[in-house]
Amino acid sequence: MDVAVESRVEPGRIGARRKFRAYLALTKPRVVELLLVVTVPTMILAQNGIPNLLLVLATVVGGAMSAGSAGAFNCYFDRDIDRVMNRTKNRPLVTGELSDREALLFAWGLGIASILVLGFFANWLAAALSLVAILLYVVFYTLILKRRTPQNIVWGGIAGCMPVLIGWAAVTGSLAWAPFILFFIIFLWTPPHYWPLSMKYRDDYKSAGVPMLAVVRGRAVVGLQVILYAWATVACSLLLVPVAHMGVLYTAVALGAGGWFIYESHRLYNLAIRHEHVSPMRVFHGSIAYLTLLFLAIAIDPLLPF
C-alpha cells in the first residue's frame, strides 16, 4: 500500500540498539526537550536563585518520563492515522519495530515511574500535576479533541503548559500567580507554534481525517489566527514583569523577541492573503527560538544583581 507497510519488520527480529532507538522515538524526544527548556528556568524563578541540583535533576527526569509516557500513549492511539501520514510513517508502531503491546506497556511503565520519581524526590503536588498532564494529553487531546474539532491544538495544548506548574510546585510545594502566567504564555504560544506546521502538512492531516485548522479553513484564516495568538502571547509575557518583579534583561528580551515573533506572524499572513508562496516552517522554527529566548531570560534574570 505504501512505504510504511512495505517496510514493516518483525519486532522480535531487530537488534537491541535499534529497539532502544525505537522506544526513544516513541517518547517524541523533541517535544520532551522543549518541555524541559521551560521547566528549569521556572524552577530558578521559583527559587529566585539556583535550586537544589538534586531536586532539579529529579524534576527534569520525572518530567521527561511524564512527557515521554504521554508521547508513547499518543503514538499507540494514533497508530492508525500515523500509517497514512508521510510525516509520521517512520514511527516505530508503523514500521513494526515495536509491537502495540510493547508500546502500551512502555507508556504505562514510564508514566507510573514518572509519578513515583516526582513524588518521592520532589513532592506529591508535582507528582499529581504530572498525572494531570498525562491525562490531559492522552484523554483530553488525543482521544477526545484531536479528531473532532479544529480547536484541538488550542485546548489540547493545555497539557504542554503543565511543566511550568510542575517545576514551580517541585521547588515551593505550592502554586502562585507567576507560574500561572507562565502557563498562559505557553497556552497562547502553542497555536501560533503548531498551526504553521499544520499548514505545511495540510494534505497529511486531510488524508488522515484530522480537522486541523489549516484543513478546514484557508491559509489567510490560519495566518490571521497566528497573528492574534502571537500578540496575545507577547502581551501575556509582559504581565510577568510586575507580578514576578522581572528586571531589565527579561523585559528587553520579552519585547525584542516578542516583536520579532509578531513580525514573522504578520509576514506569514501578508504572504497568504496575497496568494504568494508562504514559508510556514519559518514561523514554526521562529516560535521555538522565541520561547527558548524568553525562558532563557527567565532563568538568567533572577541571578542578576540588578
Query: Rounded CA gap, 43 and 46, in Å?
Result: 5
With cell 499518543, the residue in question is: 74
Query: Rounded CA gap, 170 and 121, in Å?
Result: 9
Answer yes or no: is pLDDT of 227 > 60. Answer: yes
User: What region, left, alpha or beta, does residue 252 occupy, with left being phi > 0 and alpha being psi -120 to 50 degrees?
Assistant: alpha
- Helices 100-121 and 124-135 cross at an angle (nearest 10°) of 150
Answer yes or no: is pLDDT of 283 > 60. Answer: yes
pLDDT score for 11: 54
CATH topology assigned to domain 15-174: Tetracycline Repressor; domain 2 (1.10.357)
- Tell me the pLDDT tens digit for each residue of 70-90: 999 999 999 999 998 988 889
The band of 1, judged by pLDDT with boundaries at 50, 70 and 90, is very low
Query: Rounded CA gap, 85 and 226, in Å?
Result: 24
Which contacts qualify for 139-144: CB closer than 8 Å, 24 or more apart? 142/73, 142/74, 142/77, 142/78, 143/77
The domains of the chain are located at: 15-174, 176-306
Class of the CATH domain delimited by 176-306:
mainly alpha
pLDDT score for 2: 40
- Tell me the pLDDT tens digit for each residue of 94-123: 999 999 999 999 999 999 999 999 999 999
Query: Rounded CA gap, 198 and 196, in Å?
Result: 5
Answer yes or no: is pLDDT of 3 > 50. Answer: no
Determine the Cα angle at 241 with ends 240 and 244, to 5°. 65
Positive or negative torsion for Cα 282, 288, 290, 296? negative
Asked whether 264 and 227 are in contact (CB, 8 A), the reply is: no
- Tell me the pLDDT tens digit for each residue of 232-278: 999 999 999 999 999 999 999 999 999 999 999 999 999 888 877 77
Asked whether 142 and 77 are in contact (CB, 8 A), the reply is: yes
What percentage of the chain reaches a pLDDT higher than 90? 75
- Tell me the pLDDT tens digit for each residue of 194-211: 999 888 888 888 888 899
Query: Rounded CA gap, 265 and 232, in Å?
Result: 12
Answer yes or no: is pLDDT of 32 > 60. Answer: yes
**Helix spans in 83-218 (H):** 92-95, 100-121, 124-135, 152-156, 158-172, 177-200, 202-208, 213-216
Asked whether 237 and 258 are in contact (CB, 8 A), the reply is: yes
Query: Rounded CA gap, 107 and 203, in Å?
Result: 29
Query: Rounded CA gap, 121 and 25, in Å?
Result: 26
pLDDT score for 297: 98
